[in-house]
Amino acid sequence: MAVTAYLYGQFFDHLAQKRIDLDSDTFKIMLLTSGYSPAQDTHDYIDDVVAASNEVVGAGYTAGGGTLDNVTWGYIAGSNVWKWDADNEAWTTATITARYAVIYDDTAASDPLVGYIDFGADVTSTAGTFTIAFAAAGIFTITVS
């Protein structure tokens, strides 16, 4: 199963218009069912994601998702890379099935979207821990050249 992550196209506009502050805002990660159809070019706020009731429902999962802890945003000198990262997210004793995870800014008005993860297939947890482990390189990086 191939897991792939994407930034929403409007994410950079949210940054440019100062709707998102990667240093100080609160970010959440929400789990979605296979009923969600990602639209990377047009989805820009959380209402695009939850409009069709695609959020996961089940024991051990709270609507709206989990809050990303220890979010960091910084430049790695000498590498020309900006890195945005946070701790892995886990839902313990969860009985859920998810196909996607969506990261959004819970501080900003209308909750702008950052990006989403496609697990490649449904992933199920039965009274266990459902974990999203971010890459060692970060949730996302941007190389400046």
Note the pTM of the prediction, 2 decimals: 0.95
Q: Which of 46, 49, 24, 25 is nearest to 35 (CA)?
A: 49
Neighbour count for residue 135 (Cβ, 10 Å):
11
| Domain-wise residue ranges, the chain | 4-143
**145 residues of the chain, pLDDT tens digit each:** 568 999 999 999 999 999 999 999 999 999 999 999 999 999 999 999 987 689 999 999 999 999 999 999 999 999 999 999 999 999 999 999 999 999 999 998 899 999 999 999 999 999 999 999 999 999 999 999 8
